[in-house]
Structure 1
Amino acid sequence: MANERVTSLKDVAGAAGVSVTTVSRLLNGSLELPHETKKRIEDAIRDLNYQPNPHARRLSRGRSDTIGLVVPDIANPFFATLVAAVEEEADRRGLAVSLYATLNRSGREVAYLQLIERNHVDGLIFVTNHPDDGQLGALINRTGKVVVVDEDVPDALAPKLFCDNDRGGYLAGTHLAEMGHRRVLFIGGPERMISAQRRFQGLERAMYELWGADALLLSYKGEYTVAFGREAAKRFIAEGMPASAIFASSDEIAIGLIEVLRSQGISIPQDVSVVGFDDVGPLHLFAPPLTAIRQPVRQIGQRALSLLLETNWQERTPCAVEELLPVEIVVRSSVAPPANPKAAMDKKRTRG
């Protein structure tokens, strides 16, 4: 049996005695018509059972009603929570979200940024997790309609939304210093990334405020991954546990770190204290529950979409406008006054 012919916009226009353009503009809201003319078109739509093509309507307005969301990795709990928050906010506003996972590869990031130029999306929320060589910044400046979230693209003249990384480091450092720690190891992301820089700066400021010249800060720099957390823990042990406390600057790093420390019989916080960062995963279920700096991840996702939609891109003067969202420290049970370093190492050797 042959399919019935689908009613077209031309059929509606013919039945109503108007042009196709008139019907199209009425449907996309760009034309006001006399009541009688409008009624004829609406009657024709009903009688002919015309179903407007939403994709065609969006193209006629130069819009897709779709927002692009570019993230490095959807398996990471931080990015998964961010994605969920953006989806919920978009749904509330009647918009669709196209999700693109880059695997943290610059080539894939470039390809997804070009979606704006091809009108596939109305704008992008863009999250990277590695330093930029200038290529991403240049492309963002060319395409526009991009909000940079979580990690900086330094050359991008775009709205930027971060958590207050410096404040997070400061809260961690203050807590550790007040508990008596003056030798602290910072395990952070790549040195050129704004999150790593600011978290360390905040930690450093807090430690020097309390301990002055007696403060001793060490730093291991790598990736925000479980694998790097493991590597850092092995190095920490091999170097004779040179700090009484560790500030692991992501949930993923903390997980890898704790895994190795536990396997080597090193107790938290009896032998070494640990503070994490993000507090997206179920850190309260750890043994012991992990003290951490909490990012407002859901608020970051919601605000990112609002910022993208509220910016007047036609009148906006290109510049980097940075907005910071507050963080807080969630104190649990992974920090205690410093252990005797020699006793801790002797205990480790005995168990080994």
Structure 2
Amino acid sequence: MAHNRATSLKDVAQAAGVSIATVSRLLNGSLELPVDTKARIYAAIRDLNYIPNPHARRLSRGRSDTIGLVVPDIANPFFGTLVAAVEEEADRRGLALSLFATLNRPGRELSYLRLLARNHVDGLVFVTNHPDTDQLAELINTTGKVVVVDEDVPGASVPKLFCDNEQGGRLAGEHLADFGHRKALYIGGPDDMISTQRRFTGFQKALHQRFGSEFSLLRYCGDYTVEFGRTAARRFLAEGRPATAIFASSDEIAIGLVEVLQAEGIRMPEDVSIIGFDDVGPLHLFAPPLTAIHQPVRTIGRRALSLLLETDWASEPPYPSEELVPVEIVVRSSVAPPSTT
């Protein structure tokens, strides 16, 4: 019984009277041919109904047309939204996306970076959620074609894209100051991460600008998790509620915080005012809806891929070191003047 064999590059070359290499290089855009020769090849492709093998073409160009995205945790709504935005932008540009979830473990991050070094992807959007290791920065620098997003990797000489964390802290501080809060608590992530430091700095500057030295500001640092939000809430209660307002610097922290405070009968905003950060989770469904600093996560995701593709990687580092995406405050109902009772 006869089998229908797919038309090959060899078949096209024979029909056009040229070598296989000539057809391949024409299709890859790496060879300019006389008009009549090109016409014969394209006529053969049309007549034989030849469909190029995209995988083979990518290999011949030394490209995969695939971008890697490394994130700590796709279950977290912030990172899930970021992934969706990068995926949409990759699709718009005709690129595939390979997703790597590290569980926020440095060892897994290093192994995915080595994939890029072996040319499995054309570039990498890299997101970490823990303090830096020297090994990580060193591998990023030797790998190249990496954009660091959301949190810094100090020592990495690659393009970096962050939200304007200090602006976010400032907006939170100004909003609480507008309501007269002079006793505030900042609940942040790990103390040596750029987001924790800059959000606190902006928050502190805003309170200082409004009240001079006539304010008190406490700081609890831990992880950007619901569990740490619960732990912080229990500490806040154990210390006798030493602040009238709390700036919880992630959705996850805010969720854990509110869960414990409400279970203990603490009312928002009558007993304590709260502002969150990220505004990716359903903060508008809280009772009352939670005021928050909104990160434009989808914008960050789209811009991260654009930055990766627009950077002139042939030039010498350091590349433009840092790009900041503005944030905004979304005012809801979780802030009121301090209780006088």
Answer whether contact 2:157 2:317 (CA < 8 A) is retained: no
Answer whether contact 1:117 1:143 (CA < 8 A) is retained: yes
Matched with 1:321 is 321
Q: In structure 2, what is the Cα distance between the partners aligned to 1:11 and 1:137?
A: 49
Answer whether contact 1:156 1:320 (CA < 8 A) is retained: no
Matched with 1:49 is 49
Q: Give the letter aligned to residue 104 of structure 2.
A: N
Q: Give the letter aligned to residue 33 of structure 1.
A: L
Please show how residues 33-182 of structure 1 align to structure 2 within 5 Å. 33-182=33-182
Answer whether contact 2:276 2:293 (CA < 8 A) is retained: yes
RMSD (CA atoms): 1.3
Deviation (angstroms), 1:317: 2.5
Q: In structure 2, what is the Cα distance between the partners aligned to 1:6 and 1:107?
A: 44
Q: Give the letter aligned to residue 49 of structure 1.
A: N
Deviation (angstroms), 1:16: 1.4
SS at match of 1:214: coil
Answer whether contact 1:28 1:57 (CA < 8 A) is retained: yes
SS at match of 1:266: coil
Q: Give the letter aligned to residue 89 of structure 1.
A: E
Answer whether contact 1:248 1:274 (CA < 8 A) is retained: yes
Please show how residues 267-282 of structure 1 align to structure 2 within 5 Å. 267-282=267-282
- 1:164-187 residue CA offsets vs partner (Å, 9 max, x unmatched): 101100110111112111111110
Aligned length: 341
Answer whether contact 2:158 2:317 (CA < 8 A) is retained: no
Please show how residues 209-228 of structure 1 align to structure 2 within 5 Å. 209-228=209-228
Q: Is 1:203 paired with 2:203? A: yes
The answer for unaligned runs of 5 or more in structure 2 is none
Q: In structure 2, what is the Cα distance between the partners aligned to 1:95 and 1:120?
A: 14
Q: In structure 2, what is the Cα distance between the partners aligned to 1:300 and 1:319?
A: 19
Deviation (angstroms), 1:147: 0.4
Answer whether contact 1:278 1:293 (CA < 8 A) is retained: yes
Q: Is 1:310 paired with 2:310? A: yes
Answer whether contact 1:283 1:290 (CA < 8 A) is retained: yes
Which stretch of the first structure deviates more once superposed, 25-34 or 163-172?
Answer: 25-34
Deviation (angstroms), 1:107: 0.8
Please show how residues 230-309 of structure 1 align to structure 2 within 5 Å. 230-309=230-309
The answer for unaligned runs of 5 or more in structure 1 is 344-352
Q: Which runs of 4+ in 1 moved over 3 A?
A: 1-6
Q: In structure 2, what is the Cα distance between the partners aligned to 1:104 and 1:288?
A: 32
Deviation (angstroms), 1:251: 0.5
Deviation (angstroms), 1:5: 3.3
Matched with 1:330 is 330
